[in-house]
Structures are given as C-alpha cells and as structure tokens.
Amino acid sequence: MTTSEPILVHNPVQLPSQIEAMRMPMGEVGDYKPCLAKLPTGELWLIGFVGSFDPSVTREDIFLYKSEDDGHTWSEREYLPILGREPWLSITSNGVVFVTTHMLTREDRNELGCTYSYLHWTDNEARTWDTLRISGEDVPGAAPDAWTHTSRNVLELDDGTLLLGVSAAQVPRDYLWRSNDGGKTWDRSIYCDYAGEGIDRSNVSIPFMAETMFHQTPNGDLHALFRVDQASVRPIEGRNPPDETSDQFERLAHFRSRDSGRHWHLEPEIGSTYGEMYPSLLSLDNDRLLLTFTVRELHPPLGARAIVGRQVGDGFSFDFQRDRLMIDVKSPVGLSSGGGFGPTVQTTAGDLLTAYSYRGPDDKVRIELARWRL
C-alpha cells in the first residue's frame, strides 16, 4: 500500500525543510539493495537480490520487476538466470541492459573458490542473457584466484563507446575495458595510472576500482567516484578517520581523467565523509546533478541520501552540509545498515523515484520506492 511520508531536508537553505513523498513497498521480506533504471522506451526496471543462508554456504538470487506506467504499478516478480550479488543496471541509448555483479567465495554456485565478478547483458528485454565471467585470469599480472571486481556502472560515452573498470587485488593493476560494438567484444589493454598526493597503491588487498561510478562531463573528461579505504587514499583533511577498520567506514574519492581513462588524478574532496558510499549521478535540467548515496555507518540514522549539485565548468560541485535530502531514515538507530543503495531516476512525467532497502525494527530488510519532486 502506498503511503505519504515526506523527505526531511537537513540544514535547508535553498530547499524547504521537507518535501512531499509517496512511499511504495516493493518485493518480499529479505530483499536487499535494489537498483532502479529507465530504458529508452520509458519502461522502468527494478532489480535486486535475496539470499538464503546457513552456517557454511550462501545462495543469492536476483529478481526483477518492470513498470510501464512510471512506477505506479509493477509486473510480477521474475527471477533472472544470472549469478552474483548487488546487481547494478546500466542502460545504453539503444536499450541494451548491462548488469554488473560479484560472486562471494561462500556462494554455493561459486566456480573458482574466490570472489570474482560477472558482466551480464540482454538486448531483448531479459528474455535471454549473455554473461562474461571476470576473474584473475582476465587481469594481467594477477593470480588466477585473485579477488576481482568491476566498476559499478558501464558508462556509455558521447561517441557510443562503452567503458567498464576492472581491478584485481594483490597486484596494483587496474584496467579500463572499452567496447565499440555494444559490449560484444572488449579492448582490455588500457592500464590505469593514478597521480595525486596521498595515494598509496602498496595496499591492494581490495580491488581499487571496485564499485567505482563513472561519469562524463560535457567537455569529455571522465570522472570517477571511487569507494576507498583508509589505507589507499589520504585521510580527509580536518576529519579523523575512524579508529576501527570496517568496510562500512570507507568513503568516496573523486578522480578525473583527461585522456580517456589512461591517467587518473585525485581531485579535491567532494565533501563527503567516512561511512558514505554507493554513489549514483542523475543529470537534471539547468546543469543540475542529483547525487544519491548511502550513509552506511558512523552517522545515524543510516540510509539513502541525496544532494543537488551543479555541473560547473569541466567538473561538478556538491555541498554535503546543506539541503541534504534524508530520503530514507527507517533503519532504527542501533541496528546495522539496511543497505540503502539507491539510485534515483526521473520518470517521463518528471517525478523522481529512489529505490532503497532498509532494516525494520524486526531486524529484517525490505525494499521501498520513494516518489518525489524537487
């Protein structure tokens, strides 16, 4: 049942103190980390995953819902014949749907005995799927059983080229794969180099480009929001990193490339802090950008947030201290993160839809859609 529950705005300056929002529960109890995307036809897809656990193994399955009326009604639940967890949707201009996932070592269908990634895609509305498994064997210099991970999104450039980031742990090697035929084949030769004070690539226990979100600005520069730990990138100036080490204490770092992804430079901080991750960017009118992200730890209430920024020259600008949209604050203080995840899409009617998962007072996770307007 759809309910009315406003979005509160922290430290409002240009926005009101709250924004009207309608909330629609989706899926089943246990569904986690939904991703929402709009196809060129206007159809909406919502994808997520659900797991069944015992002390030694995990089985996680990916589900899909579709909507042809801007998200007011949805299709029956469909389980997809693709593997992995945390599925993220990327849609090309001609309607090809890409899904990035990764497979945990403990998953009972894991083929290699290590964590690795998948790139799945369909060009016929999910009737059939193609899959590319990405393991250490696909990263020069990496061990066959190295932990491999991809960027979160597949980015389509202005000229139609597709980009995918691929990294492996244990070796300081990151590659930007490029495809000029819609993802059928990939040039895997572009080795990424990083510059900027405060980057430490000696600690590569985690794939450096894991979960990176790519974005292209109008001048052609590539921007990337990396999820980084305390050891690989300098501390945030003026803020002490958490004493405890946890993947929920990681943060966002902004890199830029002016040469199609071969060299990346660490840019000034975007304003985010520790415990904030899972970014997605949505282009709005008048050079505005909406950054949706998740507060995962340290600053309860946990959950999905959004900030309106601007395309500024050859980059972008966000103010994390003002007009902070508290899209989801349902996870009770004291319980662990309910996922959040996002992202936000704009419907053909102009509404904004944000998908997120949260943890209820019963300590179980659920997913929900918030419909709102700026």
What is the rounded average pLDDT of the residues 39-44? 97
- Chain-centre distance for alpha carbon 301: 20
pLDDT higher than 90, residue 239: no
Q: What is the pLDDT of residue 56?
A: 65
The structure's pTM equals 0.96
When the pLDDT of each residue in the chain is averaged and rounded to a whole number, the result is 94
Angle at 234 between CA 228 and CA 238, to 5 degrees: 110
pLDDT tens track for 60-96: 999 999 999 999 999 999 999 999 999 999 999 999 9
pLDDT tens track for 166-191: 999 887 789 999 999 999 999 999 99
Confidence band (pLDDT; 50, 70, 90) for 15? Answer: very high
CATH no. for 81-274: 2.120.10.10
Q: What is the pLDDT of residue 204?
A: 66
What is the rounded average pLDDT of the residues 270-288? 95
Q: What is the pLDDT of residue 200?
A: 85
Kindly calculate the radius of gyration of the chain based on its CA atoms and give it in whole angstroms: 19
Lowest-pLDDT range of 53-62, 224-233, 263-272? 53-62
pLDDT tens track for 334-350: 998 999 998 999 999 99
Q: What is the pLDDT of residue 55?
A: 61
Q: What is the pLDDT of residue 360?
A: 95
Q: What is the pLDDT of residue 313?
A: 80
204 compared with 268, residue with greater pLDDT: 268
pLDDT higher than 90, residue 304: yes
CA atoms within 13 A on the CB side of 98: 23
pLDDT tens track for 104-135: 999 999 999 999 999 999 999 999 999 999 99
